[in-house]
Amino acid sequence: MESIGYRFEKVAERRKDAVALVIDSVEYTYAQLLADVRIAKNCMLAQGLRENDCIANLYPNGYPFVVYSLATFALGGILLPVNNTYQPNELQYYLETAEVKGLCSPTGLPAAVDCASRHTIPWFDETALEQHSSFSSSSMSQSGGMYLFSSGSTGKSKRVFRTQQDLVCEYSMMSEVNGANEQDIVLCTLPLYHAHGFGNALLMALLSGAKCIVLTHEFNGRKTMQAIADYKVSLYPAVPFMFQIMALARFNPPLDFSSLRYCLSSGAPLSEKIFKDFHDRTGIYIGQIYGSSETGAMFINTHPCPESKKTVGFPLPGIDVEIRSDEGEVLLAGEEGEIWVRSPAMTKQYDGMPEATAAAFVDGWFFTGDMGVFSEFGLTVTGRKKLLINVAGNKVDPLEVETLINSHEQVEESVVVAKPHETYGEQVVAYVVLLPQSQASVEDLQHYVKGKLVEYKVPKQIIFLSAIPKSPLGKILRKYL
């Protein structure tokens, strides 16, 4: 399997005059991008960086982020895309855990971050290290890859290493299904440090020879809808809250979205309301992608419809999937169990964490920790196995309780978690955000759920919050509750 650097170089040489990127209305051709990637690689070599060195990219969405990411792959380094809004202690943790050797950063890092042992790579000008003309296709390394960290929504993040070949394999499986090609126009409003934005927007476009439109401003539903219409976007990956905001935008006369082949949601469950509201506004059904840091994309629903709206579709080509019981028995369609996967594109371990590896990887299978059930429309992810609440031996699925609470007319959203209980081991606790001007009380909500749930599922505490703690992509951070 080819490396990303080698594959990109072949595409760029074939598509040299075509536009690769449009960033804040500025166009960059494949030839220009490839030339700048070669310069950036030389900058890294000049700083003493070599194959398999970890290089952190702290740039926000923009041209430098793309160039330095591709240059890291060309070098054979290990790319660590980093959220540049991290606080110093968070940044220090990731830099140390990944053993970062090089930093690509637009500004000076906070004084609290120790950079003494790391090479800082400055952005280059047009005349910097112009030796790129001597490079050939063989200059693109086959080593290195990418570090990702599991979400850490329930505990300490785990470091995941995926090779360049893993990432190209994932791209190949996904593009075989979604039909990505040179005529596509891909819109990216996601952070490029996140796997969904990096893989399903940026790499999907550049490795296909397509055009990638990158919006760098804070997400805006109206501007995104306008960009889809103006650029005639054909592929748009996003997360549920983005589709939710877009569904609120109004245009008179209505915009033309007929160019869109796929709108693909990932990162968090897609609610029925968002699915319906977005379709009502645009006439387009949102499909879902299901994946993880460990595996990359695994499932995609390429034929979304009202009957399949809850599903993530079917496995990508080459991926094996089984639904297993707690005893490890393979279950049949219609039976709920844990989702086990085996993919040629997935990592084989958590770096430096043998106990966590042993608990999640066995005989080539990865235990996702997600619960699911197969139907004729594909896989429905029903919840997290590890989040099941054990009340005196009775298992409670938080999603079931959340769905009921969220159906109350004065509730905006809720999160249900387990809290220790001296007698029963665990008890059910609900954190609730009310709609503006809501007058609902704790007693109102408890009365609402009591007649609809067995007693052990009824929250023993209901705590009102102004907002649920979430990651930048809307993933609930239960560790803060």
Amino acid letter at 252? N
pLDDT attached to residue 225: 98
Neighbouring C-beta atoms of residue 222, cutoff 10 Å: 14
432 three-class SS: strand
The mean per-residue pLDDT over the stretch 22-26 comes to 95
What is the helix (H) or strand (E) element at residue 19, kind and residue range? strand 19-23
pLDDT attached to residue 216: 95
pLDDT at 109 over 70: no
Q: How many residues does the chain have?
A: 481
pLDDT at 232 over 60: yes
pLDDT at 255 over 60: yes
CA distance 447 to 443: 6
More confident residue, 298 or 420: 298
Q: How far apart are the first and last CA of the chain?
A: 43
> Nearest Cα to 160, choosing from 143, 146, 173?
146
Structural domains of the chain, ranges and CATH numbers in brackets: 4-216 (3.40.50.980), 388-480 (3.30.300.30)
- pLDDT class for 4, splitting at 50, 70, 90? very high
Q: In percent, how much of the chain has pLDDT > 70?
A: 93
pLDDT at 72 over 70: yes
Q: How far is CA 459 from CA 92, 280, 403, 411, 427, in A?
A: 38, 35, 13, 15, 7
259 three-class SS: coil
Q: What average pLDDT does the chain have?
A: 91
Whether the CB-CB separation of 214 and 62 falls below 8 Å is answered with: yes
CA distance 446 to 461: 9
pLDDT at 460 over 80: yes
The mean per-residue pLDDT over the stretch 30-51 comes to 92
CA distance 27 to 240: 29
Kindly report which listed range (87-96, 236-245, 402-411, 432-441) carries the lowest average pLDDT score.
87-96
The mean per-residue pLDDT over the stretch 129-142 comes to 56
The mean per-residue pLDDT over the stretch 423-444 comes to 93
The pLDDT tens digits of the residues spanning 348-401 come to: 999 989 998 998 999 999 999 999 999 999 999 998 887 788 887 777 889 889
pLDDT at 110 over 80: no
pLDDT attached to residue 135: 44
The pLDDT tens digits of the residues spanning 286-344 come to: 999 999 999 999 999 999 999 999 999 999 999 999 999 988 899 999 999 999 999 99
- pLDDT class for 262, splitting at 50, 70, 90? very high
pLDDT attached to residue 123: 72
The mean per-residue pLDDT over the stretch 50-67 comes to 95
pLDDT attached to residue 421: 86
- pLDDT class for 153, splitting at 50, 70, 90? very low
Amino acid letter at 156? K
145-149, strands of its sheet edge to edge: 119-120, 100-104, 54-57, 78-81, 145-149, 159-163
- pLDDT class for 132, splitting at 50, 70, 90? very low
pLDDT attached to residue 379: 98
The pLDDT tens digits of the residues spanning 176-194 come to: 999 999 999 999 999 999 9
CA distance 325 to 331: 7
Kindly report which listed range (124-128, 155-159, 200-204, 429-433) carries the lowest average pLDDT score.
124-128
How large is the greatest C-alpha to C-alpha distance in the chain, in angstroms? 75
pLDDT attached to residue 53: 96
